[in-house]
A and B are shown apart, each in its own frame.
Chain A
Amino acid sequence: MAKRLSVIDIDRCVGCQACMFACVRRTGSAGLENSCIHVRSAGGIRKGFVVVVCRACPDPPCARVCPTDALTPREGGGVRFKANLCVGCYNCVEACPFGAALWDGHQHKPLICVYCGYCADYCPYEVIALEEVEG
Chain B
Amino acid sequence: MLTNDPLQRVLYIDLTRRTFEVKERPELFEESLGGSGVGIRLLEEECPAGADPLGPENPIIFTVGPLVGLYPLASKTVAMFKSPHTGNLGESHAGGRSAVSIRLAGYGAVVIRGASTMPVYLVIDEDGVRFRDASALWGTRSSYTTGSVLRVREGGSGTRSIMRIGRAGERQVSYACVITETYRHFGRLGLGAVFGSKQLKAIVVEGKRTLPVADRRAFLKTYDAIFKAAVDSPLMQKYHELGTPINVIPLDAIGALPTRNLQSGRFEGAEAISGENLAANYLGRRVACAHCPVACIHLAALRIPYPNDPYFYKTLMLGYDHEPIFATGSMLGLDDVSGMLQVMDEIEVQGLDVMSAGVTLAWATEAFARGLITETETDGVALAFGDATGYMEAVQRITTQPTDFYRALAHGVEHAATLYGGLEFALAFGGNEMPGYHTGPACHVGWLAGARHSHLDNAGYSLDQTALKKGERLTPEGVGEALVNEERWRQVLTSLVVCLFARGIYDRETVLGALAAAGFAWNADDLDRLGAETLRRKIAFKQREGFDFDALRVPQRIVETPSPAGPFDEAFVRKAITHFRDTV
Contacts and interface: CB of A to CB of B under 8 A. Distances in A.
Given A14-B287, A15-B288, A16-B293, A28 B213 contact: yes
Nearest to A49: B287
A105 to B, nearest CB: 9
Interface residues of A, number: 28
Contacts of B147: 44
A55 to B, nearest CB: 18
Interface stretch (B196-204, B219-227, B257-265, B430-438): B219-227
B216 interface: yes
A32 B293 contact: no
A11 to B, nearest CB: 8
B507 to A, nearest CB: 22
B285 interface: yes
A128 to B, nearest CB: 13
Contacts of A25: 219-220, 223
A125 B287 CA distance: 11
A34 B148 CA distance: 28
Given A33-B210, A34-B210, A44 B286 contact: no
A18 interface: yes
B182 A14 contact: no
Given A15-B288, A30-B213, A124-B231, A46 B104 contact: no
Contacts of B286: 14
Interface in B145-201: 147-148, 151, 157-159, 181-183
Contacts of B158: 17, 38-41
Contacts of A14: 286-288, 293, 295
A18 B183 contact: no
A48 interface: yes
A31 B286 CA distance: 24
Given A45-B182, A45-B183, A18 B208 contact: no
A90 interface: no
Contacts of B292: 16
Interface string A46-75: 101000000000000000000000000000
Interface string A88-125: 00000000000000000000000000000000001011
B460 interface: no
A46 B299 CA distance: 8
Contacts of B299: 46
A46 B317 contact: yes
Nearest to A12: B286
A40 B287 CA distance: 12
Given A40-B157, A41-B158, A44-B151, A30 B289 contact: no
A31 B293 contact: no
B72 A18 contact: yes
B70 interface: yes
Contacts of A15: 287-288, 290
Contact of B210 (A30, A38, A43): A30
B70 A43 contact: no
Contacts of B182: 44-46
Contacts of A34: 210
A32 B69 contact: yes
Contact of A32 (B181, B208, B213, B287): B208
Given A15-B288, A16-B289, A25-B220, A30 B211 contact: yes
B291 interface: yes
Interface in A1-35: 14-18, 21, 24-25, 28-35
B470 to A, nearest CB: 34
Contacts of B157: 40-41
B212 interface: yes
Most buried by B among A24, A30, A33, A122: A30
Given A39-B158, A41-B158, A44-B182, A18 B285 contact: no
B227 A122 contact: yes
Contacts, number: 92
B209 interface: yes
- Interface size, B (range): 35 or more
A124 B293 CA distance: 7
Contact of A29 (B148, B151, B210): B210
A21 B317 CA distance: 28
Contacts of B209: 31-33
Contact of B293 (A18, A29, A38, A43): A18
Given A32-B69, A41-B157, A17 B290 contact: yes
B288 A16 contact: yes
Given A38-B158, A44-B148, A18 B227 contact: yes
Contact of B69 (A31, A48, A122): A31
Contacts of A46: 182, 285, 299, 317
A29 B69 CA distance: 10
A80 B285 CA distance: 37
B208 A16 contact: no
Most buried by B among A17, A33, A38: A17
Contacts of B290: 15-17
A30 B293 contact: no
A25 B159 CA distance: 17
Most buried by B among A24, A32, A40: A32
B4 to A, nearest CB: 12
Contacts of B151: 41, 43-44
A121 B289 CA distance: 19
Contacts of B227: 18, 122
B126 to A, nearest CB: 9
A24 B151 CA distance: 25
A31 B210 contact: yes
Interface in B219-240: 219-220, 223, 227, 231
Nearest to A24: B210
- 8 residue pairs, one from A and one from B, having the closest CB atoms: A40-B158, A16-B288, A46-B317, A14-B295, A31-B210, A30-B211, A32-B208, A28-B216
Given A30-B212, A124-B231, 11 more contacts: A16-B72, A21-B69, A29-B211, A30-B211, A31-B208, A31-B209, A32-B104, A40-B157, A41-B151, A43-B151, A44-B151
19 contacts: A14-B293, A16-B72, A16-B288, A16-B289, A17-B158, A21-B69, A24-B210, A28-B216, A28-B219, A29-B210, A30-B210, A30-B212, A31-B104, A32-B100, A34-B210, A35-B208, A40-B158, A45-B181, A46-B285
